[in-house]
A = this chain, B = another copy of it.
Amino acid sequence: MNLSKKNIFWQQSSIKLENRQIKNGHAGAVLWFTGLSSSGKSTLAHNVEKHLFDLGMQVYVLDGDNVRHGLCGDLGFSVEDRIENIRRISEVSKLFMNAGFIVLTAFIAPYQIQRKRAKKLIGTTNFLEIYCQCPLEVCEERDVKGLYKQARNGKIKDFTGISSCYEEPLSPDLAVNTAQLSLEESTNKVINLLQNRGIIHG
């Protein structure tokens, strides 16, 4: 027999999450931003992060563009690899939440099943799905990274929204119309959500 999972035991942290939350003055949570490329996920997540940090909170953005170089540097963009990418990010988000953080994740996460699994893993209470709602034509016009152009030219295959599907969230905790709202207005919507859910105090 090889060493297997049944030989692995849970080690309880010596510090209860409750005590971390009391110290930090807010709950641990995962704000799961989802939406098309150039829909404003990273911009909004970073602005919310700054806002919360300035209020004295423990907050951190896990960003698709960054994580892809490190933790998920071995993964490509096949359906399987995209699912594994989001699985790892979900696990890391859970670790951060258990460490008392408000974690903001900014990934396309195009499939319902990915977000459903993330929510199941992290727990329904403090997992908030935030849909950055922006028409494809607006995203394509922004084309922050010039990727849509390459996708239209056929230079990039399997690009979400063009040649690969994006399954819209059916019942997100919040939908932010990033095509119409300003960054400050969008940020305020997220902050209000956190207050309404009791994750931060008003």
Binding site for B on A (CB under 8 A): 1-5, 7-11, 13-15, 19-20, 23, 42, 46-47, 49-50, 53, 56, 58, 60-63, 65-66, 68-71, 73-74, 76-77, 84, 88, 91-92, 94-96, 99-101, 145, 147, 150, 155-159
Contacts and interface: CB of A to CB of B under 8 A. Distances in A.
A9 B71 CA distance: 15
A99 B60 contact: yes
25 contacts: A1-B150, A3-B147, A3-B156, A3-B159, A5-B68, A7-B147, A8-B65, A9-B65, A10-B69, A11-B42, A11-B46, A11-B65, A11-B66, A13-B60, A13-B61, A14-B46, A14-B50, A15-B50, A15-B53, A58-B99, A62-B95, A71-B88, A71-B95, A92-B95, A99-B101
Given A88-B88, A155-B1, A145 B9 contact: yes
A185 to B, nearest CB: 18
Given A11-B46, A49-B14, A65-B8, A3 B77 contact: yes
